[in-house]
Amino acid sequence: MSDLPLFTDCTLQSNTTCEACLKIVSCLWCISSQECIDYPVKSILPSHSVCPLSEARWGTLIITISVIAGVIIIAIFVCCFCCCKCENIGSKRRDERMERRAHLRKFSQEERKAEMRQRHEEMRTKYGLKKDNPYSRFENS
C-alpha cells in the first residue's frame, strides 16, 4: 500500500509528482502550474479559473467517466429493450388481426361452398339428375 494517507491536504503534494498527487482520490494535478489542489466537488468538471481542462489530471475523472458511461450504456439497453418489446407487441397484434381475417375468409369460403353445393343439388333435383348411387349412371347405359 502507499505511504500516503487516503485523505490528506492536497496542497502538501504540490511539490511532488503528478502520480503522488493523484494517489489521493480527492486531488487534482494542474500540469501548467505544477500544483496539486483539492478537486472542486461542487462541479463535475473543474472550472477554467482553477486549472484549464486540457492541463488538469485527476483520479476522479476515471470514476466520473465510468459512472457517466455506465448510465449511458444502461439507458441504451433500456431503450433497445423497450423498442424491441413494443415492436413484438405490435407484431403480435398484427398477427392476431391477420389470423382473424384468415379465419373469416375461410369461414366465408366454406359458406360459399355450401351454398354452391345446395344450388347444384337443387338443379339436379329440378332436372331429375339426382341419383342415389354415383355408379347408377353406368347401369342405365
pLDDT (mean) for 43-58: 77
Q: Based on the domain organization, do 89 and 45 belong to the same domain?
A: no
Instruction: Calculate the average pLDDT of the chain.
Output: 80
- Grade residue 140 by pLDDT with cuts at 50, 70 and 90: low
Indicate the number of domains in the chain.
Answer: 2
What is the distance of C-alpha 82 from the center of its chain?
5
Q: Based on the domain organization, do 97 and 122 belong to the same domain?
A: yes
Q: Which position has the grid cell 339436379?
A: 124
Q: Based on the domain organization, do 70 and 110 belong to the same domain?
A: yes
Tell me which range, 25-39, 80-94, 109-123, 125-139, is most confidently predicted by mean pLDDT.
Answer: 109-123
Domain that holds residue 14: 10-58
Q: Based on the domain organization, do 67 and 52 belong to the same domain?
A: no
Q: Based on the domain organization, do 72 and 122 belong to the same domain?
A: yes
User: Does the residue 99 lie in any domain?
Assistant: yes
Which of 74, 28, 72, 71 has its CA nearest to residue 51?
A: 28
The dihedrals phi and psi of 5, each to the nearest 5 degrees, come to -70, 155
- Grade residue 113 by pLDDT with cuts at 50, 70 and 90: very high
Q: Is the pTM of the predicted complex or chain greater than 0.85?
A: no
56-58 and 27-30 beta bridge pairing: antiparallel
Q: Based on the domain organization, do 93 and 122 belong to the same domain?
A: yes
User: Does the residue 140 lie in any domain?
Assistant: no
Q: Based on the domain organization, do 109 and 82 belong to the same domain?
A: yes
Q: Based on the domain organization, do 49 and 71 belong to the same domain?
A: no
pLDDT (mean) for 63-69: 81
Q: Based on the domain organization, do 88 and 99 belong to the same domain?
A: yes
Q: What is the pLDDT of residue 135?
A: 61
Tell me which range, 71-75, 77-81, 89-93, is most confidently predicted by mean pLDDT.
Answer: 71-75
Give exposure, 27-56, as e/b (b: 16+ Cβ within 10 Å): bbbbeeeebbbebeeeeeebeeebbeeeeb
Category of 24 on φ-ψ map: left (φ > 0), alpha (ψ -120 to 50) or beta: beta
Q: Which position has the grid cell 472550472?
A: 47
Q: Based on the domain organization, do 35 and 75 belong to the same domain?
A: no
- CB-based contact 22:29 (threshold 8 Å): yes
